[in-house]
Chain A
Amino acid sequence: MMDDVLLTTGIPSREQIESRVPPKERREKGPFVVIECFQEIPCDPCYHSCRFGAIREFESINDIPEVDLDKCTGCGICVGSCPGLAIFVVDETFSETECLIALPYEFIPLPAKGGEVLLLNRAGEEVGKGKVHIVVPGKKPAGTSVIWVRAPKELSMEVRNVKVLTEGGARCE
Chain B
Amino acid sequence: MKKTEVAIVGAGPAGICAALEAASYGVEVTLIDRGEAPGGQLVKQTHKFFGWHEKSAGTRGIIIAQDLAKKAKEDPNIYFLGSTEALGYYQDDGVLLVETPDGIKGIKPERLVIAAGASEKMLLFPGNDLPGVYGAGAVQTLMNVYGVRPGQNVLMIGSGNIGLIVSYQLVQAGVHVEAVVEGLPQIGGYAVHASKIRRLGIPILTRHSIKEAYGGRYVEGAVIWEIDDNWQGIPGTEQDLKVDVVCLAVGLSPLCEFLWQAGAEMSYIPALGGFVPIYDENMETTLKGVYVAGDVASIEEASTAMAEGYLAGLAAAHSLGKVPEDEFKSKKQAYATELEQLRAGPTSEKIVSGLSVLREQIGKRVSL
Contacts and interface: CB of A to CB of B under 8 A. Distances in A.
Contacts of B202: 124
A42 interface: yes
A84 B201 contact: no
Contacts of A47: 53
Interface string A120-142: 11111100000000000000011
A143 to B, nearest CB: 9
Contacts of A4: 186
B200 A124 contact: yes
Interface stretch (B70-78, B87-95, B191-199, B282-290): B191-199
Nearest to B194: A10
A107 B172 contact: yes
Interface in B342-363: 342-348
Q: How large is the interface on B (under 10, 10 to 19, 20 to 34, 35 or more residues)?
A: 35 or more
A40 B206 contact: no
Residue among A4, A44, A47, A60 facing the most chain B CB atoms (10 A cut-off):
A44
Interface string B56-81: 01101011000000000000000000
A84 B199 contact: no
Contact of B191 (A39, A83, A106, A124): A39
Interface in A77-99: 81-86
Nearest to B56: A45
Contacts of B49: 83
A161 B50 contact: no
A48 interface: yes
B196 A85 contact: yes
Nearest to B57: A45
B239 interface: no
A84 B192 contact: yes
Contacts of B63: 141-142
B199 A83 contact: no
A41 interface: yes
A39 B194 CA distance: 12
Contacts, number: 123
Interface in A130-163: 141-142, 144, 160-161
A2 B195 CA distance: 14
Interface in B277-318: 303
A40 B346 contact: yes
A42 B303 contact: yes
B261 interface: no
B190 interface: yes
A10 B186 contact: no
A24 B209 CA distance: 45
B342 A42 contact: yes
Given A45-B53, A85-B192, A61 B342 contact: yes
B344 A122 contact: no
Interface in A47-93: 47-48, 60-62, 81-86
Nearest to B346: A40
Contacts of B193: 84
A37 interface: yes
B341 A61 contact: yes
Contact of B48 (A10, A38, A83, A107): A83
21 contacts: A2-B346, A8-B186, A9-B198, A9-B204, A10-B191, A39-B347, A41-B190, A41-B192, A41-B347, A42-B303, A44-B52, A60-B341, A81-B58, A82-B58, A84-B192, A107-B172, A120-B201, A121-B199, A122-B199, A123-B201, A124-B199
Interface of B: 46-53, 57-58, 60, 62-63, 171-172, 185-187, 190-202, 204, 206, 303, 341-348
Interface of A: 2, 4, 6-12, 36-45, 47-48, 60-62, 81-86, 106-107, 120-125, 141-142, 144, 160-161
Given A37-B192, A84-B193, 12 more contacts: A10-B197, A39-B346, A39-B347, A45-B57, A83-B57, A84-B196, A85-B192, A86-B192, A122-B199, A123-B199, A123-B201, A124-B198
